[in-house]
């Protein structure tokens, strides 16, 4: 029976779809491809760079549209419909953000920030869990600037407040904090849904994440899914109708998606 709605899955990658340490997903590759072949739209929505997600698409063997650098850039919607744009940039370039950061943040707080670009390659490899070309792709950022913060929570909140007053944000992931424009995963997700609704009467959105910078995305979709992460305690997460997997990624991703599709009565 033909469904009267279209399913769009917005998914984080590291720790959600990709294994947290090895970044592998071969055990669920066939399942992902089967979803695409049955008309489900899958859109990676990640802090990863364009090149990193491009490599993921190559490994998958399918060109998926995607959102990179914490909502900064949307690419490949024309793969869904030829009339949709190929690329939408929602962020200022990284250099402009860094200039504002340098001009507006007090030295006391700047000294607590260790820019990833200023540390040794060996340290970069340890932080990102990547080497050689993979590390280079992870550092090849156009719209965000990763750093480590060595201050306490109060100092981080003060830094965030100063940046917010200048339309910048901090996005905290599993490995680093990213200096970002006034953009995030949920804003870009909503932008994509608005475009999809130009040709689809009804869109049912599934969002999958595993970390703090995914929670707003999960709160603003139809079916929120959380993949196991030992940082989280479910009773501390206030998201209605949350689907949770006790399995880590990548198997946890397949687990929550199957549960989400069952909840939508979308049996594929």
205 and 236 share one domain: yes
Please provide the DSSP assignment of 168-203 as one string.
Answer: EEEEE-SS-EEEEES--HHHHHHHHHHHHTTT-S-E
237 and 194 share one domain: yes
229 and 166 share one domain: no
Q: How many residues does the chain have?
A: 268
125 and 140 share one domain: yes
80 and 12 share one domain: yes
147 and 210 share one domain: no
Measured CA to CA in angstroms, residue 175 lies from 60, 78, 116, 201 at distances of 24, 32, 11, 39
Per-residue model confidence as pLDDT tens digits over 223-265: 999 999 987 777 778 898 999 999 999 999 999 999 999 999 9
193 and 164 share one domain: no
177 and 190 share one domain: no
**CATH code at 76?**
3.40.50.1000
> Residue 171 falls within a domain, yes or no?
yes
- Looking at residue 141, its pLDDT comes to 96
- Looking at residue 1, its pLDDT comes to 45
84 and 102 share one domain: no
Contact present, 189 and 67 (Cβ < 8 Å):
yes
pTM of the predicted structure, to 2 decimals? 0.94
117 and 245 share one domain: no
Contact present, 125 and 118 (Cβ < 8 Å):
no
Q: Identify the CA nearest to 251 among candidates 74, 8, 46, 30.
A: 30
Per-residue model confidence as pLDDT tens digits over 163-203: 999 999 998 876 789 999 999 999 999 999 999 999 988 99
105 and 231 share one domain: no
**CATH code at 125?**
3.30.980.20
* Secondary structure class of 9 (helix, strand, coil): strand
- Looking at residue 53, its pLDDT comes to 98
- Looking at residue 212, its pLDDT comes to 82
Range of the structural domain that residue 170 is part of: 94-181
Task: Check whether 94 has a pLDDT greater than 60.
Answer: yes
169 and 197 share one domain: no
Measured CA to CA in angstroms, residue 165 lies from 98, 105, 171 at distances of 15, 11, 15
- Looking at residue 142, its pLDDT comes to 97
Q: What are the backbone dihedrals phi and psi of residue 38, each rounded to the nearest 5 degrees, phi first?
A: -100, 10
Domains: count for the chain: 2
> Residue 85 falls within a domain, yes or no?
yes
181, 213, 245 - which closes a domain: 181
Question: pLDDT tier at 27 (50, 70, 90 boundaries)?
Answer: very high
> Residue 268 falls within a domain, yes or no?
no
Residue 63 CA neighbour count, 13 Å, CB half: 7
181, 202, 222 - which closes a domain: 181
> Residue 12 falls within a domain, yes or no?
yes
The set of residues, in sequence order, having a beta carbon less than 8 Å from that of 33 and lying 6+ positions away, is 60, 61, 62
> Residue 1 falls within a domain, yes or no?
no
Query: What average pLDDT does range 86-93 have in this prediction?
Result: 98
Percent of the chain with pLDDT over 70: 98
Percent of the chain with pLDDT over 90: 87
> Residue 140 falls within a domain, yes or no?
yes
Task: Check whether 34 has a pLDDT greater than 80.
Answer: yes
């Amino acid at each position: 029976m033909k469904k009267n709605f279209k399913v769009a899955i917005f998914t984080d990658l590291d720790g959600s779809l990709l294994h947290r340490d090895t970044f592998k997903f071969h055990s669920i590759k066939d399942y992902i491809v089967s979803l695409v072949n049955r008309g489900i739209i899958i859109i990676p929505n990640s802090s990863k760079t364009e090149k990193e997600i491009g490599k993921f698409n190559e490994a998958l063997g399918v060109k998926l549209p995607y959102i990179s650098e914490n909502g900064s850039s949307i690419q490949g919607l024309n793969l869904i419909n030829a009339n949709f744009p190929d690329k939408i940039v929602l962020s200022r370039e990284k250099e402009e953000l860094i200039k504002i950061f340098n001009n507006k943040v007090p030295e006391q707080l700047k000294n607590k920030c260790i820019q990833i670009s200023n540390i040794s390659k060996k340290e970069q490899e340890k932080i990102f869990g990547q080497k050689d070309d993979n590390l280079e792709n992870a550092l090849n950022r156009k719209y965000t600037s990763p750093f480590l913060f060595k201050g306490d929570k109060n100092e981080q909140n003060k830094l965030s407040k100063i940046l917010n007053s200048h339309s910048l944000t901090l996005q905290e992931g599993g490995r680093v904090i990213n200096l970002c424009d006034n953009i995030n995963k949920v804003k870009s997700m909503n932008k994509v849904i608005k475009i999809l609704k130009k040709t689809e009467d009804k869109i049912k959105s599934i969002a999958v994440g595993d970390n703090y910078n995914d929670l707003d995305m999960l709160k603003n979709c139809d079916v929120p899914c959380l993949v196991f992460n030992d940082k989280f305690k479910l009773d501390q997460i206030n998201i209605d109708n949350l689907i949770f997997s006790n399995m880590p990624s990548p198997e946890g991703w397949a687990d929550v998606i199957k549960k989400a599709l069952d909840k939508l009565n979308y049996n594929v």
